[in-house]
Structure 1
């Protein structure tokens, strides 16, 4: 596949990756002026809810990922990597029997 002059040799099966590289080159001043409209190529990479999850995990030094990944990281670091569940009702019979 011959790279197009527009993409500066950046080719990808993923169009978003190509757009990302093109805007990166444009912002760095490496692409000819006027080829890319930077305002039109901006797309959010995560929803607001996802951003809040990422922000909370980062601020509290928690690991993001599935349970298997979290367990691996917890074992390697030998420290808690996610929030523990809240305590129970200490007066209930179910809690006392645990």
Structure 2
């Protein structure tokens, strides 16, 4: 499975965050994202509701924070019940991913 880097910052408007979560195959924003912990590491998987494509997404701690506190309205972001808050890490000077 191809891993893509998320391309939005903590303070980006909803439209840019939504674009960063869009399908890399067809560019649809009708996607879902499931964030989980696998073998002690972060695992974010995307799925497209239009073309059926699936992908992995690399998220920085600041992006996780943005998605957890203020997800864009069109985003379908789901979280594992086993997601430890410690994975968010500390927000340093490089807060915009």
**TM-score, normalising length from structure 2?**
0.21
Flag the structure with higher helix content. 1
Greater relative contact order (Cα 8 A, min sep 6): structure 1 or 2? 2
Flag the structure with higher strand content. 2
Question: In terms of Rg, which structure is larger?
Answer: 1
**TM-score, normalising length from structure 1?**
0.20
